[in-house]
Structure 1
Amino acid sequence: MCWHTRINSDIGKANAAFYVLVPALHREAKLVALTVRLVSGEQVIRNQCTRYKELEGRLHQLWDQYTEGDITASRLLRDFGNIYGPSTD
């Protein structure tokens, strides 16, 4: 879950008043400190949104195909372009 989605769900709406947003940001700051400690201790690699995790996996898969000679450079770039192309969301 991305940090802004987590904050929005924590406070119950996307457009919160300043006095509601500040405590939510403070709680998020505490989570960041905890995450840094966990990453430093190698207990967590990193926190990543599912959508971007899948996208990065696809990019690595394409790169591996390219380095193994299974696809050409032009195919690699075309596929990258399709991944990063206009969103349909």
Structure 2
Amino acid sequence: MFALISGWHHRLNSQAHHGAVPFYVLVPALRKEAEMVDISVQSSDLEREQRSSTVNARLEEYWTKYSNGEVPTSTFLKAVSHLYGPSE
């Protein structure tokens, strides 16, 4: 997290030419940065939603197989643990 903030601060300082920047120059730079952050957050949210819907679809598939008796409990639990476990 510190690296992200540090990078953001460095980029903002570069745009402000590392010194006392007039207010009328600083405000547009901050506004531009805020728009970039908003776009970045929206993109991140979209990726998270796509991953979540994929996980939910797979979970439903495993649950159906388990409910129909097609797979034993141990297989079902292993499959679910792979869905929610750490990614490699």
Q: State TM-score, norm by structure 1.
A: 0.46
Decide which structure has greater helix share.
2
Task: Kindly indicate whether structure 1 or structure 2 has the higher relative contact order, using CA contacts under 8 Å at least 6 residues apart.
Answer: 1
